[in-house]
Amino acid sequence: MYPMSRPRRLRTTAAMRRLVAETTVRTHQLVLPVFVKQGAAAPVPIPSMPGVVQHTRDSLRKTAAEAVAVGLGGIMLFGVPATRDATGSGGIDPDGVLNTAVRDVHAEVGDDIVIMADTCLDEFTDHGHCGLLDAAGRVDNDATLAVYAQLALAQVRAGAHVVGLSGMMDGQVGVVRAALDAEGHHDAGILAYSAKYASALYGPFRDAVESQLCGDRLTYQQDPANAREALREAALDLAEGADIVMVKPAMSYLDVLHAVAEVSDVSVAAYQVSGEYSMVEAAVARGWLDRRRTVLETLTSIRRAGADLVLTYWAVQAAGWLR
């Protein structure tokens, strides 16, 4: 005798499963991270991230237009400069690769998509760290904050709608919010990487930005062993005025993502990082996984854990599958 309630009744057809689905993924919830390389004459493939390239200015504009056409919610820009220095001055330069890219994208798509810029120094420093170094070679938190304010102002002046504070410096949200407001940029949003872990899964990204990092970032990014710490970090960022808080990486930290989403009164983002992308692509290339099913399952899991928006290198592909 079967019980009166038979859950399998709600799984019988695709239409039935769609009707009762508890979690959905929509194209407007996806943000595409993109890299632009200074001086590139043609898009440069990134070997550790099959299908992802370092863009030229022209290919970046085309990609931004495509992102709008398929209905993505946002585009996150990262710069790959031709030269670097100890202070990351190229990030502040109005004519630097990232600020130029922001202007190009804004000229191409305007307000039709949310333009985000990575507000950090790691792409621009010759030591690869996210902040300025003191005489002992340690990241100087407070000195770095003043530079972050300059980075954010340069990006918003160029046309960024949202600045992405990814450096994990204490007090970064408050300092940047004050700087933006002081110049009248009250509508510029702040995406705070509140729980950014010192993960092994960033390797392909460092290839993509040609990182100069030697060593690690364990002294300022979060310890993968800690979850409660993420809640403290998120609470500080919220108190300082963050408009969106982020958990990064996504798939290995779904418990943290869920916990942050439970307490946040603003939108929560998750970054499906380069290592997560590359692992799936490697398995797909060997015929071990089906790309479409795997990607949509991972995105659904991130949404189910509590993310309101997801940064993913599959954003354009996923948008096509979700139509």
Residues belonging to the active site:
196, 248
Distance (Å, whole) CA 274 – CA 271: 9
Distance (Å, whole) CA 190 – CA 285: 37
H helix or E strand, kind and range, residue 276: helix 274-285
Mutual angle of helices 315-322 and 57-69, in 10-degree steps: 20
- Helices vs strands, H then E, count in the chain: 11, 10
DSSP character string of 58-106: HHHHHHHHHHHHTT-SEEEEEEE-S--BTT-GGGT-TTSHHHHHHHHHH
